[in-house]
Structure 1
Amino acid sequence: MLKFFRSPASMIALLAGIAGVLLVLYAWRLPPFVTSVETTDNAYVRGYVTIMSPQVSGYVVEVPVKDYEQVKQGQVLARIDGRIYAQKLAQARAALDGQKASLDNSRQSELSARATIASSEAQIDSANAALKRAQLAWDRVSNLNDRGIASASESEQAQATLEQAKAALNQAQAALEVSKQSLATIIVNRSLLEANVASAEATVHLAEIDLQNTSIVAPRDGHLGEVGVRLGQYVAAGTQLMAVVPEDVWVVANFKETQLEGMEVGQPVSIVVDALGKQRLTGRIERFSPAAGSEFAVIKPDNATGNFVKIAQRVGVRISIDPDQSLARSLTPGLSVVVNVDKSVEPEAKTAAK
C-alpha cells in the first residue's frame, strides 16, 4: 500500500481524482463550497437609446451634427426643407381669415335682422294707429248713415279706409314674422360658421406642427450614435436618422431561476466592468422581471413536442448604479459586466428600519 502512494503516477491520479471531486462540489455549490454570493456574467449595461425619426417627409437641407457628438436637449440634429410646409401654413391661415370674415358677417347680419325686427314692430304700431283712426271714422260715418245724414260715397270711403288699415296691419305683422325667421336662420347658421372657424384653426395648428417638425431636435441631453442621414437625402416619416443616448444607464443581469432565492430589492450589488479593466462599481437591486426571458422571445419554445430536457430559465434583474462614482460616467449601453449579489446582506430599507 505504501509502495502505491510512493509511485508518482499514483499520486498524480489521486490528486486528479480529488480535484475532480472538488470541482464537481464547487460546480453544484455543495459543502464545503456553499456560498451566499450569486454571480452571473450574463449581464449588460442598458440605457435609453432613442432612435430619431422625422414626422414629415422631404429633402434634408441641414445636418449640423456628427457621429458620437454630445448634444443638448432641443439642439437641432437635422433639418428638412420646410418651404412647402410654410406655404401650407400660409394657406391655412388665409382659410382661417376667410372663415372668421364669414362669422363676422353673420354677426353683422344678426344686427341688421334685429334692426329690421324693430322697424317691423314700429310699422305694426303705426298700422294699429291707422286702424284705430279708420275705425273711429267708420263709427262716425255709420252713425250719420243711420240718421240718413251721411252720403253713400262717404260711407264707402270710410269702409274702404278701415279695410285698408286692417290689411296694412296684417302686412306689418307678416313682415315682423319674416324678420324673426330671418334672425333665427342667422343664429342657426352661426354654429356652422363657428365650427368652420374651429376647423380652420385646427388646420392652422396642424400646419404649424408640420412646419416645426421639419427641425428634428434632441429630446434629452446625451451623445449621438452614428449619424445615418446625409445632406440632400429624401426621408419619409419614420426613417431612422440617428440615435440619441442619454447619460442615464443601469444594468440588467440575467440570473438563473435557481439563483433567485434570497434576492431582494435593495440588496447591494458588485459590478465588474470588462471595459474598465475589471474595475468594480457598486449598485442596488431595483426590480425583478415579471417573467422569464423566454416569455418575451419572438419565437417561444414549445416544450410539449419531442423529448424534454429541463433547462434552467433566466430572469432579468434590473440594477441601479450608485451615484457619485466617477467610473459610472464611462459606462455606455451594451457593455458586458459581471454581477455579484451577496444574498446574506439585508436590503438597505430593512437595515434602516432596524
Structure 2
Amino acid sequence: MSRQQKLGILLLIALIFVFSLFAFRWIKHRMEYAITDAVFVKAEELTNLGFMVSGRVIGMYKMSGDTVKKGELLALIDPEDYRLKLQEIENRIESLKAQKQMLEVQRSRLGGELGSSLGASEYSLKGVRQKVEALKYQLSQVETNLEQARKDLERYENLYRHGLVPARTLEEYQTRYKVLKDQKESILRDIRSLEQEEGRALEGVYASKSKLLQLKELSYQIESLDKEIASLEKQRDLLKRQLEYTELRSPFDGFVAKKYVSVGDVVQAGKPVYALVNPKSMYVEVLLEETKLKGVKVGNKAYVKLDAYPNITFVGVVEAISPASAATFALVPRDVSAGEFTKVVQRIPVKIRIVEGPVELLRVGMGGEVEIERK
C-alpha cells in the first residue's frame, strides 16, 4: 500500500470520526433541548387607547415609537362644548339654590307666625263657643221661667180685676215678669255679641289654616327644587368626568406602537387613537410541536435568538404551558366528525419570560429561534 493510500485512509477515518462526533453532539443537543423557530414576541399590555367621549381632536403629542410615562398627556379633544354645558348647569344650580333659600326664609317666617296665630285663634274660638253654649242653656231656663211668669201674671190680673187679690200682689208678679224679660233680652244681647266674636275668631282660624296650606305649598316647592338640584348635580358630575375625558393620558410607562388619528379628525368614543405597549409586559410565545414537548416544564431555562439581533442571546424561563393546542382556538376549527382528516403535528403554546438580555430591544411581532432545556 502506498503512502498516499495510507494518508487517504487516515483522512477518511478522521472525517468519519469528526462527522460521528458532530452527529453525536447534534443528536445529544436535540435530546437535551426542544428547538423550534415558531417564536413570536408578544406583550400582555398591548392597549388600543381611545377617548371616552366624542369630539374633534385638537392635539396629538406623541408619534409612533415615542416613549410615554404613566399619566402623560397623549392627545386632546376640544373641551369647549363640555365647558359651556358645565357652566350652564352650574349657573342653573346656583339659581335654583337661591330660589330654595328664598322659599326657606318665607317658610320659616310663615311657620313662626302660624305657630302663634293658629293656636291662639283655635283657643279663642273654643272659648267663645263654650260661652255661647252656656248662655243658650241659661236662656232656655230664663225662657221657661218667663213663660211661667207670664201665665202667673195673666191669672193674677184676672183675679185683680175681680177684686180677689190686692194691687201689691199684682205688682209683685208684674215686677217678676219684667225682670225675667229684661234678663232674656240681656242674654240675647250677650249671645249676639259672642256670635260676632265667634265670627272673628273663625276668620282667624281660617286665615291660620290658609297660612298652613301656604306652608305646605312652600315645603312642596322646596322639595321639588331639591330633586331638580340633585338631578342637575348628577349631570354636573357627569360633565366634569366628560371634561376630564377630553384628555387622553397614558395608563402605564411604555411606548407608542401605532398612531391611528391626526389633529382635526372627529373621533367617536372608544375609537382607537394610539396603540401602547408596556415593555415590561413583553414575553416570548413559542408554538412548540407536540413531538418536542417531552421534558419541557415550567421553570426550565430557554435561550432565544431573534432574527433582528442574531448575535444576541436572550435568556428566559418557561412561565406557562398551554393546556390546549393552538389549533383549538382557531377561528375555523377543523371538522373531524366525518373521520376524514389529514394528520398534522399540533403545536402547543409555551410562554417564556425573558430574564436576561436587553429587553428594551424587543418589539411585538419579532420572530426567531428558541432552545428550551428538557428535564
- TM interval, shorter chain, is 0.7 to 0.9
Q: What is the CA distance between 1:26 and its match in structure 2?
A: 12
Q: Is the deviation greater in 287-296 or in 180-189?
A: 180-189
2:362 pairs, out of 327, 331, 336, with: 331
2:90 pairs, out of 90, 93, 109, with: 93
Are residues 1:321 and 2:317 paired?
A: no
Are residues 1:294 and 2:292 paired?
A: no
The 2-side partners of 1:321 and 1:286 are apart by 10
Are residues 1:237 and 2:233 paired?
A: no
CA contact (8 A) 1:62 1:78 kept: yes
- Could you say which residue in structure 1 is the equivalent of 2:40? 44
- Could you say which residue in structure 2 is the equivalent of 1:251? 284
Q: Report the CA distance shift for 1:335/1:117 in structure 2 as closer, same or farther (over 3 A).
A: same
The 2-side partners of 1:263 and 1:187 are apart by 77
The alignment yields a C-alpha RMSD, in angstroms, of 3.8
Q: Report the CA distance shift for 1:299/1:157 in structure 2 as closer, same or farther (over 3 A).
A: farther
Q: Among the aligned pairs, what percent are the same residue?
A: 24
Are residues 1:341 and 2:372 paired?
A: yes
Q: What is the CA distance between 1:87 and its match in structure 2?
A: 1.0
- Could you say which residue in structure 1 is the equivalent of 2:114? 117
Q: What is the CA distance between 1:200 and its match in structure 2?
A: 0.6
Q: Report the CA distance shift for 1:191/1:302 in structure 2 as closer, same or farther (over 3 A).
A: farther
Q: Report the CA distance shift for 1:78/1:111 in structure 2 as closer, same or farther (over 3 A).
A: same
Offset from partner CA, 1:303-334 (integer Å, 9 cap, x none): 22572122232232222222xx4512211221
Counterpart of 1:236, as a letter, is Q
Instruction: Give the TM-score normalised by structure 2.
Output: 0.71
2:242 pairs, out of 193, 210, 231, with: 210
Offset from partner CA, 1:203-222 (integer Å, 9 cap, x none): 11222222222222222222
- 5 Å matches for 1:248-287? 248=280, 249-287=282-320
The 2-side partners of 1:97 and 1:290 are apart by 62
The 2-side partners of 1:336 and 1:259 are apart by 19
Q: What is the CA distance between 1:228 and its match in structure 2?
A: 3.7
Q: What is the CA distance between 1:166 and its match in structure 2?
A: 4.7
Counterpart of 1:279, as a letter, is I
Q: Report the CA distance shift for 1:157/1:311 in structure 2 as closer, same or farther (over 3 A).
A: farther
Instruction: Give the TM-score normalised by structure 1.
Output: 0.74
Q: What is the CA distance between 1:269 and its match in structure 2?
A: 2.5
Counterpart of 1:83, as a letter, is E
Offset from partner CA, 1:160-214 (integer Å, 9 cap, x none): 2344455555555555555555545555565543332222111112222222222
The 2-side partners of 1:172 and 1:131 are apart by 14
2:74 pairs, out of 64, 77, 81, with: 77
Q: Report the CA distance shift for 1:157/1:245 in structure 2 as closer, same or farther (over 3 A).
A: same
Task: Return 5+ residue gaps in structure 2 as ranges.
Answer: 1-14, 146-178
CA contact (8 A) 1:93 1:204 kept: yes
Q: 2:322 aligns to what SS in structure 1?
A: strand
Q: Report the CA distance shift for 1:267/1:100 in structure 2 as closer, same or farther (over 3 A).
A: farther
- Could you say which residue in structure 2 is the equivalent of 1:227? 259
Task: Return 5+ residue gaps in structure 1 as ranges.
Answer: 1-14, 345-354
Q: 2:238 aligns to what SS in structure 1?
A: helix
Q: Report the CA distance shift for 1:260/1:190 in structure 2 as closer, same or farther (over 3 A).
A: farther
The 1-side partners of 2:362 and 2:37 are apart by 16
Counterpart of 1:122, as a letter, is A
The 1-side partners of 2:352 and 2:212 are apart by 75
Q: Report the CA distance shift for 1:93/1:33 in structure 2 as closer, same or farther (over 3 A).
A: closer
The 1-side partners of 2:325 and 2:223 are apart by 58
Q: How many residues get paired?
A: 322
Q: Is the deviation greater in 126-135 or in 50-59?
A: 126-135
- Could you say which residue in structure 1 is the equivalent of 2:62? 65
- Could you say which residue in structure 2 is the equivalent of 1:196? 228
The 2-side partners of 1:134 and 1:26 are apart by 130
The 2-side partners of 1:319 and 1:158 are apart by 111
Q: What is the CA distance between 1:336 and its match in structure 2?
A: 1.4
Offset from partner CA, 1:233-258 (integer Å, 9 cap, x none): 33333333222222221122222334
Counterpart of 1:303, as a letter, is V
Q: 1:85 aligns to what SS in structure 2?
A: helix
The 2-side partners of 1:259 and 1:168 are apart by 109
The 2-side partners of 1:157 and 1:290 are apart by 110
